[in-house]
Amino acid sequence: MAGGRETGVIFEFITVGAYVKVSAIDPATGIEASIVGDPMRGENALRQTALRKLKYVMEKRRTGGRS
């Protein structure tokens, strides 16, 4: 993802009670974003939500927090 390239993303799923915490990490930069969701939504939906948040965080850092 660094520099607009898809270099792979590492996903980590941790069950916490009735919820699951999903972390998405860009291995090139070490930037991480996490979400907490309902495991009934399915792994793919949770993965896509975490990936969207990671892209958002990376863009915010790239622009210095400016929208």
> Per residue in 19-65, pLDDT tens?
999 999 999 999 999 999 999 999 999 999 999 999 999 999 998 87
pTM, two decimals, is 0.83
Domain count across the chain: 1
Residue 19 belongs to a domain: yes
Q: Is residue 42 part of a domain?
A: yes
Structure-token match 């996903």, residue found = 11
Torsion of CA 58, 10, 32, 5, to 10 degrees: -10
pLDDT above 90 (res 4):
no
pLDDT computed for residue 65 by the predictor: 75
Q: For residue 64, what pLDDT is reported?
A: 86
Rounded CA-CA distance 16/25 in Å is 19
Instruction: Confirm whether 67 is domain-assigned.
Output: no
Domain ranges, residue 16: 2-62
Residue 12 lies inside a defined structural domain of this protein: yes
